[in-house]
Amino acid sequence: MQGNRWTRRSMLVRSGVIGLSLPMLGSFLSACRQAASSSQGVAAQAAATESSTPSASSVAGLQRLPLPHVAPPVNGREATVVQVEVETIEVPALIDDGVGFTFFTYGGTVPGPMIRVRKDDVVELTIRNHPDNRTPHNIDLHAVTGPGGGAKFTVVNPGQSATIRFKALNPGVYVYHCAVPPVPLHISSGMYGLIVVEPPEGLPPVDREFYVMQGDFYLTGKRGEPGLHEFSLEKCLAEQPDYVVFNGSVGALAGERALQAKVGERVRIFFGNGGVNLTSSFHVIGEIFDRVALEAGSLWAENIQTTSVPPGGATIVEFTLEVPGDYVMVDHALGRLLKGASGVIHVEGPENPDVFQVIQPGAQLTSGH
């Protein structure tokens, strides 16, 4: 989605909550043992959830989560102190038509809010855990040089907050996520986002920027079964997701929610993979990436058709739009298309027969590219 304005030194993200914890898998992070132990008390409830059949009426009134905004460019300003505040939100929402899921989120969106700074900024980050939540949360930022990427010192129980300061030492695009045990529960319930660290001179200007993240989701019950579902630990350990989606749900970036652009515009996509298990083969059908920041680092490649993004990784892709129409973003492991891994860039503008034209159309299918 298109960027919104924010204050120069602060960003505040807030909303409301509901959730369910699962038994610990073990001490993934030693600093999180005490906070994570609260999840043991609901082991019986979690086991019962695995075998229960959800009621279709339980999704009445639920909607898809709102889409996160692109934070505005830094534009080569001087390094400064940037204050960021994020609140963790546990909330039921639709992951598919008629299918609800209890999401764990930062700020009520999947992915969470984009954090955007420049190299050498000092970031003062406060994480708050909404008092209505039922589990502890924290934040591990891959852009942080420090114990646990900040996770060690940001474990917060419901109603609590924590604050850390870190210096953005390396330019690039980095994933952040929750790292409270069991870590897969929190990440594959939606707790991930991107922090963009621009080089001192800033990124080259483009006409439009988009923010897209892929995630794999594991639900109790059968895929597509109506009702409100919880996280399935068994499916996650078997690496058998029910849904693989962009921005939190099937169709999150389609129809009225499709990304919008025009012929002649140059676009930039900040693309990340929250995981927790699957590597993405990111591809835009009908386009070639003019430039790709390999693994979202400082090395750029040109004329790329598909780029691999591992769990916990990211990339930047840029291209110019020459022809109008709908361009479908996919994970080119195309079995995942049937699990929701697609989104649309809708491009308006004049036809360009020098680049593409239809001489005689073939049969029209109701699905496909």
Q: What is the pLDDT of residues 181-219, one digit of tens each?
A: 999 999 999 999 999 999 999 999 999 999 999 999 999
pLDDT for the residue 364: 81
Asked if residues 247 and 111 have their Cβ atoms less than 8 Å apart, the reply is yes
pLDDT for the residue 350: 98
CA distance 309 to 294: 9
pLDDT for the residue 56: 64
Q: Which CATH topology does 10-198 take?
A: Immunoglobulin-like (2.60.40)
Helices assigned H by DSSP within the chain: 33-36, 43-51, 183-187, 233-237
- Give pLDDT < 50 ranges for the chain: 1-51
Domain spans, the chain = 10-198, 208-348
Give just the sign of the alpha carbon dihedral 165, 168, 169, 175: positive
pLDDT for the residue 190: 98
Q: Which amino acid is at 194?
A: L
Task: Return the closest-CA partner of residue 3 out of 197, 202, 211.
Answer: 211
CA distance 126 to 44: 33
Q: Enumerate the β-bridge partners of residue 306.
A: 283
pLDDT for the residue 26: 37
Task: Return the closest-CA partner of residue 347 out of 287, 280, 283.
Answer: 287
Which CATH number is 208-348's, of 3.40.50.300, 4.10.91.20, 2.60.40.420, 2.60.40.10?
A: 2.60.40.420
pLDDT for the residue 335: 97
pLDDT for the residue 369: 67
Give just the sign of the alpha carbon dihedral 5, 121, 246, 51: negative
- Whole-model pTM: value is 0.86
3-state secondary structure 7-64: CCCEEEECCCCCCCCCCCCCCCCHHHHHHHHHHHHHHHHHHHHHHCCCCHHHHCCCCC
pLDDT for the residue 145: 96
Cα 329–61–275 angle (5° rounding)? Answer: 35
End-to-end Cα, the chain, rounded Å: 22
pLDDT for the residue 365: 76
Helices assigned H by DSSP within 115-241: 183-187, 233-237
Write out pLDDT tens, residues 70-81: 999 999 899 999
pLDDT for the residue 41: 36
Q: How many CA atoms lie within 13 A of 356 on its CB side?
A: 11
